[in-house]
Amino acid sequence: MRIAMIGTGYVGLVSGICFSDFGHDVTCVDRDTTKIDRLKAGDVPIYEPGLEDLMARNVAAGRLDFTSDLAAAVAAADAVFIAVGTPTRRGDGHADLTFVMAATREIAAALTGYTVVVTKSTVPVGTNAAVAALLRETAPDADFDVASNPEFLREGAAIEDFMRPDRVVVGIESARARDVMQTIYRPLSLRDAPIMFTDLASAEMIKYAANAFLATKISFINEIAALCERVGADVKQVSKGMGMDGRIGPKFLHAGPGYGGSCFPKDTRALARIGQEHAVPQRIVETVIEVNEAVKRRMVDKIFNMLGTPSGKRVAILGVTFKPDTDDMREAPSLTIVPALVGAGAEVRVTDPQGRSEGEHMLPGVSWHDDAYAAAEGADAVVLLTEWNEFRALDLTRLRHVMRGTKIADLRNIYRPDELQNSGFTYTSVG
């Protein structure tokens, strides 16, 4: 198949590269010519393990290229995927569809022959119907179908998720569109990956409902963690005991400083807004959002209580991205915690394996260091904020030697309390 991928952000770039690895001819399109030049030079603008090598292999095989010429890419395509951003709209929390609709108008003007226009971006229920209406209005003679194909990629494990998915969800309205989408995903069918065909609205809703449920698990266990601290229970044992129940499962039951990233915050807010618009308030989701913000503030209080008076204290922050194995800083807990420390007069020293390029302009007033030991030099306290592998096995003797103080706040519960206490640290955890 010939595929045009409109948008080379996280979803578009990963999807386009993986589709080319399936054997399809893929052209990734972006109006940002600087980004296209970087991609043509083999420079991947995001950090995702394995993506650069996969891209190079498929470019070399002639199955993958990059362009800013949307019209030419669309005209040659059997399927056009819209993978542009849908950020939270200011004021009302809804998903901003400006980029989706702008791409739709450009696609309509370039359609030739039968084409399936596939929405890969996360969009509110009813968006695909609106896309179809706009295509018909702009290009009344065009031969097309619209499909909804939401993504379920975890940053840091996106290639594995694309190649070995739990399921592929495709919303369609015609047999022709189904045939095209089945052909595109045939390599996964041969591996017995579940491919679920639904109507358009159900495909749109599955994405939001899935992310909201996972966010709910995170907020739930973070509230349980706060209760554990009051009653003397251990949230790690509670999580393990809960997760052994097959009806619940162990994933997303790890207490911490709250969820962040490009999906959960945006999608929970959008789902809450959809419910309000249709007079069906999503009260659980609305509470999940409130709890997550409260968790971040509670982490600030926890650190302040540990420090006593933050002013004049030197604090090392280990990890600022919202999760390990990504450079994504969007909605990261660090964006709440670090500014609070800086604002209270603390000297904040930061290290993160991939977060500096984004973090330098998002976290003013901090100093950046190459590793945990450099960041902790002369520190009164260390705050472990993102569970990168290199922070999971610190040399505690060396760490204690370079620090001035003895306090550690492990906000990911990586270390055992007795392990740190035996090494001379005063330990603060979550739950």
Same domain, 110 and 220: no
My answer on whether 180 and 329 are in the same domain is no
Three-class DSSP category at 419: helix
Residue 381: give the domain boundaries. Answer: 199-431
Distances 7 to 51, 69, 119, 392 between C-alpha atoms, Å: 16, 12, 11, 35
Residues 381 and 356 sit within 8 Å (Cβ to Cβ): no
135 is in an annotated binding site: no
177 and 205 fall within a common domain: no
Same domain, 354 and 404: yes
Angle at alpha carbon of residue 84, lines to 80 and 87, rounded to 5°:
150
How many whole angstroms separate alpha carbon 420 and alpha carbon 140? 68
Residue at a domain's end among 170, 198, 226: 198
86 is in an annotated binding site: yes
Tell me if 391 sits within 8 A of 353, measured CB to CB: no
Considering the domain architecture, whether residues 213 and 124 belong to the same structural domain is answered as no
Is position 263 annotated as part of the catalytic site? Answer: yes
Domain count, the chain: 2
Which are the contacts of 421, defined by CB distance < 8 A and separation ≥ 6? 427
Domain boundary among 149, 173, 198: 198
**Among candidates 258, 265, 252, 262, which has minimal Cα distance to 300?**
258
Categorize the per-residue pLDDT at 95 as very low, low, confident or very high, splitting at 50, 70 and 90. Answer: confident
Say which residues have a Cβ less than 8 Å from residue 125's Cβ, sequence separation at least 6: 201, 204, 205, 208, 274
269 Cβ neighbours under 8 A, 6+ residues apart: 88, 93, 94, 289
Q: How confident is the model at residue 93 (pLDDT cuts 50, 70, 90)?
A: confident
pLDDT digit string, tens, across residues 354-383: 999 889 999 999 999 999 999 999 999 999
Specify the pLDDT at position 262: 82
159 plus 224 within the same structural domain: no
Determine whether the annotation assigns residue 153 to a binding site. yes
Say yes or no to pLDDT of 310 above 90. Answer: yes
Residue 171 marked in a binding site: no
* pLDDT (0 to 100) of residue 89: 80
Query: Are 145 and 173 contacting, i.e. CB atoms less than 8 angstroms apart?
Result: yes
- Looking at the structure, tell me whether residues 279 and 374 fall in a common domain: yes
**Based on the domain organization, do 51 and 173 belong to the same domain?**
yes
The values of phi and psi at residue 429, to 5°, are -130, -170
Q: Does residue 257 share a domain with residue 136? A: no
90, 118: one domain: yes
- CATH number, domain at 219? 3.40.50.720
Q: What is the pLDDT of residues 30-63, one digit of tens each?
A: 999 999 999 999 999 999 999 999 999 999 999 9
Query: Is 407 known to sit in a ligand binding site?
Result: no
Of 18, 28, 228, 263, the catalytic one is 263
Any binding-site annotation on 31?
no
The rounded distance, in Å, linking the Cα atoms of 178 and 216 is: 33
Alpha helices (H) along 278-416? 283-307, 334-343, 356-362, 372-375, 396-402
- Same structural domain, 428 and 385: yes
Helices (H), 244-282: 264-277
| Domain C-terminal end among 145, 165, 198 | 198
| Shared-domain flag, residues 325 and 308 | yes
